[in-house]
Structure 1
Amino acid sequence: MFKKLKASLGIGATTVDTRVENESLYQGEMLRGVVRIKGGNIEQQIEAISLKLCTEVKVESDSGVSYESFVLGSMQVIDPFVVQPDEEKDVVFELKLHDETPITAVNARSNKCHVWLETTLDIDFAIDPSDRDFIEVRPLPVVQRVLNTLEREGFTMVKADVEKGQLNGDGFTSLSGCYQELEFKSSGMFNRKEIELSFILDGNVIHCLAEIDRSFGRGDMFRSFTISLDASEGEVEQALASTLHA
């Protein structure tokens, strides 16, 4: 009885350790790994193992700005089972990254974009053991071409974060419930400009919404464009032209 009481408090209870096979990947790719379960001091009933793909989103309200965890996707990887004392069990999994998973591998002065896999064991009458594994999400090659073009034009990425809500562009809408913003500033003295870019992967194309804050009180404006995943540098430059020269 004393062992059961301690296990219910997490002492000597079953533990979980997720090992991700590919910790660096693109949006839409398959995340693969193994959940390793190790029994504690007593036999325990495991109702479920849940995997959640999470990010951190910024929430703006009348009371200010706050940050909260946001689930992009989830799955249950195993049916209920009993784990014996000191028993070890490996469960292989595959989880597709949501197409709108934020990019984390960006060269921003302030990068607030984080993506992680959260593993939880559902155990009767006990504290649920959990494990968190951070994942690097790289820009797709065509997105990297957009970023490179902006740098060549004298823009520096100053901030990257994820907003809670929906993004609406010209002919496209985000679906995940959040969207990423990459904020750039130009270094020009007389034509200083700020651009916020958001990308939405949609099959074989990338949609982009640009919010442009122009200098000298000329106000904000929006530009949308869509390019294929295999767009060349020239095609990227052409698509960006209306944004850069707005």
Structure 2
Amino acid sequence: MLKKFLAKFGKGAATVDLQFENRPYQIGEVVQGEVVIKGGEVDQQINQLAVQFMMTVRAKNGQSVSREVERIPLNGSFVISKKEEKRIPFNYRIPQALPLSRGPVSYYFDTHLDIEGGVDRTDIDYITIGASKEIQSIFHALSRLGFREKSTSGKLDQYGQEFEFFPTQLFADKVHELEIRFAYVEEGVKVWMEVECRSGYGKIEAKREFVLTKEIVENEDKLVSSFEKYIAEAVQQPELYKQPFTYPTYQPHHKGSMASGIGSMVGGLAMGVLGGMVLNELMDNLGVDEMLEDAAEAIGLDEENFDLAGMDFGDFFDEN
């Protein structure tokens, strides 16, 4: 009798543990594992077993918000006997339009064991979501051209996720930075690339919008040549590339639909998960980073050695 009483308060109760290979996963990849439930000191009625896939977005001022990407029900009502061990298979495909794990964006699984008349048990497991094979190939091609991803890369806005790079070799004296977005299309990968060209004492922005076919994406040399060509054209005649980007239009869907977001644009699902109001508030806070970067450049600090995350600005940017 005492054991049943204590189990209601969690002592000697059943436990839950989600187990899967601890490694970075690509968007679109399937996470395979199992949920291990171990019975406690008494038999217990379980109402439900489910896993929530959660996304957290953090601003530089410390503000963060977590939202459910998807709820994965695994089992309905059942009894877990004293000292019994149950193993339930777990499979989850990571949505392709999710933002990648970067400084402001992280993910975790929240496994929830709903115990009848007792304290529910949970298990938190963090997971890193990296670029798909196609996007990894693009990042590698940019690296071969001497571009390095900035520490503040990966910001979110109403269109999706933006990746920022700075030059170290070939284009170091001609380009200030690249800002790039991607979307998966039938032909391959669509790219929106903004090139900040150096011009005298100022900058000129050139906007390039193009599709990299599957053949190009799968051939590293062709991929490098393509980016070198598009960037060189922008640098040589930036005034020819001033037209605004033609981003897809956001179409909201019902809650839980993996179609929420902007087509298959990388990070497009953030709008559907976070909601426009929350995303706009986070964008306002993330905008402080850009102010600091501009200030650093104005006083001559080297981009590669300028780390915003490690700097303490006291309460200068705190709200009153």
TM-score normalized by structure 2?
0.59
Q: Which runs of 5+ in 2 are unaligned?
A: 235-320
Q: Tell whether 2:18 aligns with 1:18.
A: yes
Q: 1:99 to 1:7 in 2, by over 3 A?
A: same
102, 106, 125: which is aligned to 1:133? 125
Match of 1:236, SS? helix
Report the CA distance between 1:226 and its aligned residue.
2.9
Contact 1:22 1:31 in 2 (8 A): no
Contact 1:58 1:164 in 2 (8 A): no
201, 218, 233: which is aligned to 2:220? 233
Could you tell me which residue of structure 2 aligns to residue 146 of structure 1? 138
Q: How many residues align?
A: 227
Distance (Å, rounded) in 1 between the aligned partners of 2:69 and 2:17:
21
Q: Which runs of 5+ in 1 are unaligned?
A: 105-109, 168-178
Q: Tell whether 2:49 aligns with 1:68.
A: no
Distance (Å, rounded) in 1 between the aligned partners of 2:117 and 2:64:
30
TM-score normalized by structure 1?
0.74
Name whichever structure is richer in helix by fraction: 2
Distance (Å, rounded) in 2 between the aligned partners of 1:13 and 1:74:
24
Choose 22-31 or 143-152, whichever is displaced more.
Answer: 22-31
For residues 49-72 of structure 1, give each alpha carbon's deviation from its aligned partner in whole angstroms, at most 9, with x where no partner exists.
Answer: 222233332459xxx662222333
Report the CA distance between 1:90 and its aligned residue.
0.6
RMSD: 3.2
Report the CA distance between 1:16 and its aligned residue.
0.8
Larger Rg: 2
Could you tell me which residue of structure 1 aligns to residue 260 of structure 2? none
Match of 1:151, SS? helix
Q: Which runs of structure 2 are paired with 1:150-229 in the superposition (5 Å)?
A: 150-159=142-151, 162-163=154-155, 165-167=157-159, 179-187=160-168, 190-202=173-185, 205-215=188-198, 216-218=201-203, 220=205, 222-229=207-214
Contact 1:185 1:193 in 2 (8 A): yes
102, 107, 110: which is aligned to 1:118? 110
Name whichever structure is richer in strand by fraction: 1
Distance (Å, rounded) in 1 between the aligned partners of 2:167 and 2:7:
57
Could you tell me which residue of structure 2 aligns to residue 86 of structure 1? 83
Match of 2:223, SS? helix
Contact 2:14 2:44 in 1 (8 A): yes
Q: 1:128 to 1:196 in 2, by over 3 A?
A: farther
Could you tell me which residue of structure 2 aligns to residue 171 of structure 1? none
Q: Specify the code of the residue in structure 1 equivalent to 2:136.
A: Q
